[in-house]
Structure 1
Amino acid sequence: MTNSMIPVGKVAVVWRGDLAARAEATADNNRLKAIFEALARVGLAPEPVVFCEEAADAVRQQLLGMEGVLVWVDPIATASGQRRGALDDILREVAQAGVFVSTHPDVIAKMGVKAVLHRTRALGWGTDTRFYERSEAFQAEFPTLLVAGPRVLKQNRGNGGIGVWKVEADGAGGVRVLEARGGAVARVMPLADFMAERLVAFEPGGGLVDQPFQARLLDGMIRCYMSGGQVVGFGHQMVRALAPAEAGPAGPRLYSGPDDPRFQRLRAMMERDWTPGLARRLDIEPDDLPVIWDADFLLGPKSTAGEDSYVLCEINVSAVFPIPDEAPDALAATTLKRLASHRRKRAPAS
């Protein structure tokens, strides 16, 4: 399909499902209903597209018939463990054909991986963050760091707590290990055995991020929702992943809009400093930042003036949902602007 044949205003909203879900999908029978409604309010024509590997060719043809594609598919499916490589190949193909794609797989590869915590650690949201690209560096450095206190290891790609572990020394060469995945139980084992288990993380494109455990974990996590370079809301949650069992269950994530007075200092830093700095360091054009993404922060040590510091622990770009009530309209406005910009770039020179 040539650029001139791309229909104006048609936007695919993509999520993972099976063949039955694909056959039954409508704009209002899925969890993204509010996003369909917001896109329609700004004059776009959103269409549901359910992705599964069995329907890859049909999905490709659907997406080639769109002006834009917005994607909500996790890097690793929680239930099946399936990865989204087949979808990423399709998205690259349709983007090359002139369709606007958010989030483009190449952008995900830059900012939707844990290695971003190391690459951006000097922005002001970082800590003593290491990234082991090779198993030899992991074997040489990690045991020494562990002596100073608990560490958190994160595999480069994952979601839902998959591949995130708190590790602390337990005496006589042993460690106590707790995975962030829901329902995980702490294990006590030899450090050498735990490190041997992690060697699988060093496949091509893999690696491990290593950060010090944040002592203020029980004070809660702040999720900052972004559309491009604009804060569009917050989520605050009393998290319990990586916490001891006696801390009790996690609380619900409580959503609020971008004007929540508790988080205006964080908002200012995200919009003024950190997001522009992120884009520069990762060589991402502002118009290529995802139409919806989020950054998760834990509270770090307080300053001498008593102000909180913020420690980035994850960026999510692949399947950001649920989102604050204010976010769908902001997402739709960003999409409309991006499509207009995309049309200008594709227009032939006069």
Structure 2
Amino acid sequence: MHQAIVIFEVEGGSDKGPDGHRRDTMPIVDAVRAAGWHAEVIYYHPDRAAEIFDTVVGGFDAYISRVNPGHIPGGEKGYFTLLTQLADAGVIGMSTPADMMAYGAKDALVKLNRTPLVPADTAAYYDVADFHQTFPTSLSYGERVLKQNRGSTGEGIWRVRLADRDLAASVTPGTALPLDTELKCTEAVDNRSRHTTLGEFMDFCDQYIIGDNGMLVDMRFMPRIVEGEIRILLVGAEPVFIVHKKPAEGEDSFSATLFSGAKYTYNRPEEWPELLAMFEQARPVIAAKLGQNQNVPLIWTADFMLDTAADGSDTYVLGEINNSCVGFTSELSMGIQEKIAAEAIRRVETANLAVPA
């Protein structure tokens, strides 16, 4: 065993600091080194894939991927191929392409729609024709949220409703709406609304379905999102931080991103006992439904929204899971980087113990 972990990054992108790294990368490197292991950063580029493979296989036990999918030169395919080749060569992946797709893709919600975590009418469109045939009927049941697969900071996340409130109140659920129905659509990236027709908007959304890993998730709008989205940040199976993200004031505001003006409050997990108790029961279900085993990613998040149960009590609805490249700059003062280093080393040591001598 080399007792060495490589952290993958890519050059450039809005997530980099003055030193060219993500602001949460070097704290991980320093924490791994403080634990007595070697750690360094390697920038991925498709032109260097063969060289990177040889370097990592020859000198490292594992990798931690800190790459925003939208910043990968040449796209995800080449990067995922390299990660898969490394895993085949015995390098432990955190996270693997399979984990990123299972936990990071928006259709994770569809895989959980037969659990109490997600509304049963949550669906995904992988085909443009299916989207155009099904969504006009889906919208007849009330306001919907469409989520593109690989969006970040709210890009391609749309709240969709009928512009005419009187019409919305009179629509018979289950009836396909005409393509000239006027819509009001609000994008989460900035809470700005646009007025368009159903047909025009669906044509616009085709871009999210076309291409590798393209899809749109169709989920009912949760009105209590205005009270805030609650994000659980986890290292492995351990919740280490909770962020309460409250959208900016305003009728159209529903986005919980900082860019849109949402206000963030950072809490320790024990400050949300009911949510924590619910998630402790839900986590094994999530792992069983999404993963190939009971393992969970090294760094991941689960975002919840408040809803009201039939008896009037509060309940939580899962809105999203993130895994590909979760940022945690604001939590560095809480020592999350030490937890990440300790868990990463534990996983390597556990994996090596499982290998026959």
Q: Which amino acid aligns with 2:189?
A: R
8 Å Cα contact 1:26-1:48 kept in structure 2: no
Q: Does the CA-based 8 Å contact 1:74-1:84 persist in structure 2?
A: no
Q: 1:81 to 1:173 in 2, by over 3 A?
A: farther
2:299 corresponds in structure 1 to: 292
The residue aligned with 2:341 is 332
Matches for 1:205-216 after TM superposition, within 5 Å: 205-216=213-224
Indicate the RMSD between aligned Cα atoms, in angstroms.
3.0
Q: Is the 2:122–2:219 contact (alpha carbons within 8 Å) kept by the matching residues of 1?
A: yes
**1:240 positional shift:** 4.3
Cα pair 2:99 2:291 within 8 Å, conserved = no
Counterparts in 2 of 1:149 and 1:26: CA distance versus 1, 3 Å: closer
User: Aligned pair count?
Assistant: 331
Residue 186 of structure 1 deviates from its aligned partner by 1.7
Residue from 130, 133, 139 that aligns with 1:140? 133
2:185–2:195 Cα contact (<8 Å) kept: yes
> Aligned residue for 2:244?
236
Q: Report the equivalent of 2:194.
A: 187
- Contact 2:244-2:264 at 8 Å conserved across structures: yes
Q: Deviations over 1:67-110 (max 9, x none)?
A: 11001112223xx9963322111111111111111100011121
User: CA, structure 1 residues 158+337, in 2 after alignment: closer, same or farther (shift >3 Å)?
Assistant: same
Q: Map 1:108-119; keep pairs closer than 5 Å.
A: 108-119=100-111
- Structure 1 226/243 Cα, relative in aligned 2: closer, same or farther at 3 Å? farther
Paired residue type of 1:93: Q
Taking structure 2 as the reference length, what is the TM-score of the superposition?
A: 0.83
Aligned to 2:262: 251
| Structure 1 residue 317 displacement after superposition | 0.4
Amino acid at match of 2:317: V
Question: Aligned equivalents of 1:278 and 1:179: distance in 2?
Answer: 28
**Quick one: structure 1 residues 105 and 241, their matched pair in 2 at CA, closer, same or farther if it must change by over 3 Å?**
farther
> Within 1, Cα distance between the matches of 2:73 and 2:194?
23
Aligned to 1:3: none
Q: State whether structure 2 residue 205 is matched by structure 1 residue 198.
A: yes
User: Does 1:322 find its partner at 2:331?
Assistant: no
1:274 to 1:246, Cα distance in 2 relative to 1, 3 A: closer
Q: 5+ residue gaps in structure 1? A: 1-6
Gaps of 5+ in 2: 165-179
Assess if the C-alpha contact under 8 Å between 2:46 and 2:73 holds in 1: no
SS, match of residue 354 in structure 2: helix
2:177 alignment partner in structure 1: none
Does the aligned pair in 2 maintain the 1:162–1:180 contact within 8 Å? yes
1-side partners of 2:2 and 2:128: how far apart?
A: 49
Contact 1:156 1:209 in 2 (8 A): yes
Aligned-partner Cα distance in 2 for 1:210–1:90? 32
1:89 matched to 2:69? The reply is no
1:295, distance to aligned residue in structure 2 (A) = 0.8
Residues 228 and 305 in structure 2, CA contact (< 8 A), matched pair in contact too: yes
State the alpha-carbon separation in 1 of the partners of residues 122 and 245 from structure 2: 24
Distance 2:46 2:91 in 1: 21
Q: Is the Cα contact below 8 Å between 2:182 and 2:196 reproduced in 1?
A: yes
Work out whether 1:167 is the aligned partner of 2:174. Answer: no
Does 2:177 align with 1:177? no
Greater shift after overlay, 139-148 or 239-248? 239-248
2:65 is aligned, of 71, 83, 101, to 71
SS in 2 for 1:14: strand
Give yes or no for contact 1:150–1:166 (8 Å, CA) kept in 2.
yes
| Kept after mapping to 2: 8 A contact 1:75/1:158 | no
* Partner Cα separation in structure 2 for residue 242 and residue 291 of structure 1: 36
CA contact (8 A) 1:233 1:258 kept: yes
Once the 2 structures are TM-superposed, how far is the Cα of residue 30 of structure 1 from its aligned partner?
A: 4.4
Q: Retained in 2: the 8 A contact 1:237–1:252?
A: yes
Q: State yes or no: 1:121 paired with 2:113.
A: yes
Q: CA shift at 1:243, angstroms?
A: 6.2
1:60 aligns with 2:57: no
In structure 1, C-alpha distance between the alignment counterparts of 2:187 and 2:327, rounded to whole Å: 22
Give the secondary-structure state (helix, strand or coil) at the position aligned to 2:285: helix
Q: State the distance in 2 between where 1:181 and 1:62 align.
A: 39
**8 A Cα contact 1:154 1:210, kept in partner:** yes
Say whether the 8 Å CA contact 2:100–2:324 is kept in structure 1: yes
TM-score by length of 1: 0.84
